[in-house]
Amino acid sequence: MEIDVEPVETLDDIDTDSLATGVDAAEYVLYGGKGGVGKTTMAAATALASASDGTETLVVSTDPAHSLSDTLETDVPEEPTRVHDEVPLYGAEIDPEAALADSPLGMEGGNPLAGMLGEDVADPLAGSMPGADEAAAVRLLLEYLDDPRFERVVVDTAPTGHTLRLLELPEMLDSMVGKLMTVRERMSGMFDVFGDEPDDEDIDSLNEFSARIERLRDLLRDPALTDFRLVMVPEELSIMESERMLDRLDAFGVPVGTVVVNRVMQDPTEVTDLGSDWFVAPNHTDCEFCAQRWEVQQRALARSQDIFRGHDVRRVPLLAEEVRGEKLLRVVAACLAE
């Protein structure tokens, strides 16, 4: 079935100068949610709008499946680097494996037991601990959050499960430190035989890292400093997972200020002040497919309004073109600002 659409002007005709600059948000903005709902798009759009008023802004991706470079249509390296010529926008795509190699949680050259056992003793914790790559990535993220160069940091987090696992790290690390102390006490005689005296440097490193994770949790729990934004799409499964994540974040004491419903099949002009000539809007009258999908989305939107009552719910419409590059990111930022 053909879908009747009205002709529109090209994206080059969009006057982005007419769009508002800056964002009304805390110092730290984190986007979370399941994979594939558009967290990277929201983070990139928010960071671009933030930098557009002269705010030194860093956008960071901690998702192993990076797409920040593609979304911004520019190369985003592993370390914070300016990625825009006209506005102070910086970007970084954290490589978890590279971060793990330099982390006390990495077992290759960084295993706390390696310095305690001696060269001739087999390492009972060979390999990396579960979640070590995410933990190593967060170690770098904490450095960036403390970086005085940036006035705002926007984070594209890993999918739901990875994000929540990071919040459980302090207890896991405390348990690991205790086990390491027990192993060291039990093997003290072997240290005498092999002549390698253990020291506390590695355990101190783990304790320090655990303290920094605690600081991250404190930041996430402070709505004056951090705006945690949950991203979802208007579908039943996405809403169910978002509800579960909201419950778990609440259990950690992390408030969610904003819920972003992405890819809503409505006219973009209904959520922005942009002119109608720039967009192709879904035809709910003559397109049976569009009409049915809109019914599904309306049911999901109605449920989301009930579940997320009390939160600031923003809608971002489904655009006809893939959101890549500055012009459409500025449009998404305008939708988030409404």
At 112, is the pLDDT very low, low, confident or very high (cuts 50, 70, 90)?
A: very low
Closest CA to 318 of 268, 259, 272: 268
Backbone angles phi and psi of 318, in degrees to 5: -75, 120
Q: What is the 3-state secondary structure (H, E, C) of 279-320?
A: CCCCCCCCCHHHHHHHHHHHHHHHHHHHHCCCCEEEEEECCC
* pTM for the whole structure: 0.79
By three-state DSSP, how is residue 269 classified?
Answer: helix
pLDDT of residue 269: 78
11-337 folds as Rossmann fold (3.40.50)
**Strands (E) located in the chain:** 28-32, 57-61, 81-82, 89-93, 152-156, 226-232, 256-264, 312-317
Which of 306 and 118 is assigned the larger pLDDT?
Answer: 306
Give the range among 80-84, 123-127, 263-267 with minimum mean pLDDT. 123-127
Closest CA to 47 of 14, 25, 65: 25
Is the pLDDT assigned to residue 177 strictly greater than 90? no
Beta bridge partners of 255: none
pLDDT of residue 127: 43
pLDDT of residue 157: 84
45-79 pLDDT, tens digit per residue, is 999 999 999 999 999 998 777 789 999 999 999 89
